[in-house]
């Protein structure tokens, strides 16, 4: 299985995303990978907030940052799962790219700053152009946020 980040397989013209574009120097540059645990196949990404990613309280991360991390990890996970379902390596033609149609986030507890965050994804359904992705964000073994995304493949 490839160790390449999903986002590093995107063509250059799709690499400017604020959340995950490798060619966006002002963005978060999130990188997502397959992650095989004992029972399930997940996707995983890590991110360590910088002091300027805080919300109203300096010790805690901004909720929009958390939503952004789930957003980009979710669409990347949808693309990876769709390529896998077609038995193709990511990035091979025809290009499969997903955008977010809906994203709900439950903020379960404040997310501490300057800790490494772990974002997990699981594509629970792939049907036609639509993927449903379950998402979570945790740190220090504490679940801070969960999300559900509907991602739709661009025509
Ligand atoms: C990113 C910019 C968007 C423009 C894209 C252009 C080029 C960019 C290409 C690639 C991007 C590359 C890298 C980006 C990487 C990550 C980005 C991070 C994620 C984002 O930040 S991305 C930005 C925010 N995102 C949007 O900017 C989407 C705006 N929106 C639309 O562009 C349309 O709205 C679309 C495409 C979503 C659907 O439109 P459509 O006409 O293609 O398809 P249609 O409506 O037929 O839906 C097909 C099936 O999805 C179901 N469905 C649709 N919407 C649903 C909903 N809300 N809830 C539940 N189910 C839904 C239908 O019910 C049907 O299901 P069924 O087949 O079962 O009937």
Q: Compute the distance between CA of residue 145 and CA of residue 112 in angstroms, rounded to an integer.
A: 12
Cα 130 to ligand 1 centre (Å):
9
Q: Judge whether 1 lies within some domain.
A: no
- Among 99, 129, 147, 153, the mutation site with the greatest number of ligand 1 atoms within 8 A of its Cβ is 99
CATH code: domain of residue 121: 3.10.129.10
pLDDT confidence of residue 56:
81
The pocket around ligand 1, CB under 6 angstroms, is made up of 10, 14, 17, 19-20, 71-72, 75, 97, 99-102, 128-130, 150, 152, 154-155
Ligand 1 atom with the smallest distance to the CA of 128 is 67
**Tens of pLDDT, residues 11-26:** 998 899 999 999 999 9
Query: Which protein residue has the closest C-alpha to ligand 1 atom 61?
Result: 101
Instruction: State which ligand 1 atom lies nearest to the alpha carbon of 72.
Output: 18
Instruction: Give 86 or 3, the one with higher predicted confidence.
Output: 86
- Give a yes or no: residue 142 inside a domain: yes
Report the chain's mean pLDDT, rounded to a whole number. 95
Domain count, the chain: 1
Tell me whether residue 48 is in a domain. yes
The answer on pLDDT for 28 being more than 90 is yes
For position 2, what pLDDT does the model report? 61
ipTM of the complex: 0.89
Please list, residue by residue across 37-56, b when 16 or more beta carbons sit within 10 angstroms of its beta carbon and e when fewer do. eeeeebbbbebebeeebbbe
The domain containing residue 10 runs over which residues?
6-153
Long-range CB contacts (< 8 A, 24+ apart) of 27-32?
28/65, 28/68, 28/69, 28/72, 30/69, 30/72, 30/73, 30/76, 30/119, 31/5, 31/6, 31/7, 32/5, 32/6, 32/7, 32/72, 32/73, 32/76, 32/77, 32/80, 32/119, 32/121
Q: Which atom number of ligand 1 is nearest to the Cα of residue 155?
A: 42
Could you tell me if residue 58 is inside a domain?
Answer: yes
Asked if residue 139 lies in contact with residue 86, where contact means CB atoms within 8 angstroms, the answer is: no
The tens digit of pLDDT for each residue in 75-125 reads 999 999 999 999 999 999 999 999 999 999 999 999 999 799 999 999 999
The model carries a pTM of 0.94
pLDDT, tens digit, 9 for 90 and up, residues 123-146: 999 999 999 999 999 999 999 999
Q: Which residue has the higher pLDDT, 106 or 1?
A: 106
Residue 75 φ then ψ, to 5°: -70, -35
1 pLDDT band, cuts 50/70/90, is low
Which pLDDT value is given to residue 58? 87
């Amino acid at each position: 299985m490839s160790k390449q980040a999903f986002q590093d397989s995107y063509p250059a013209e799709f690499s400017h995303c604020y959340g995950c574009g490798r060619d966006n120097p002002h963005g978060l540059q999130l990188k997502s990978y397959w992650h095989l645990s004992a029972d399930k196949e997940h996707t995983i990404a890590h991110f360590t907030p910088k002091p300027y990613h805080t919300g109203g309280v300096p010790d805690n991360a901004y909720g929009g940052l958390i939503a952004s991390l789930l957003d980009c990890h979710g669409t990347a996970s949808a693309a990876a799962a769709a390529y896998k379902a077609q038995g193709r390596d990511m990035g091979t033609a025809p290009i499969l790219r997903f955008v977010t149609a809906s994203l709900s986030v439950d903020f379960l507890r404040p997310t501490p700053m300057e800790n490494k965050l772990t974002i997990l994804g699981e594509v629970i359904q792939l049907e036609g152009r639509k993927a449903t992705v379950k998402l979570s964000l945790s740190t220090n073994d504490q679940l801070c946020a969960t999300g559900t995304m509907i991602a739709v493949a661009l025509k």
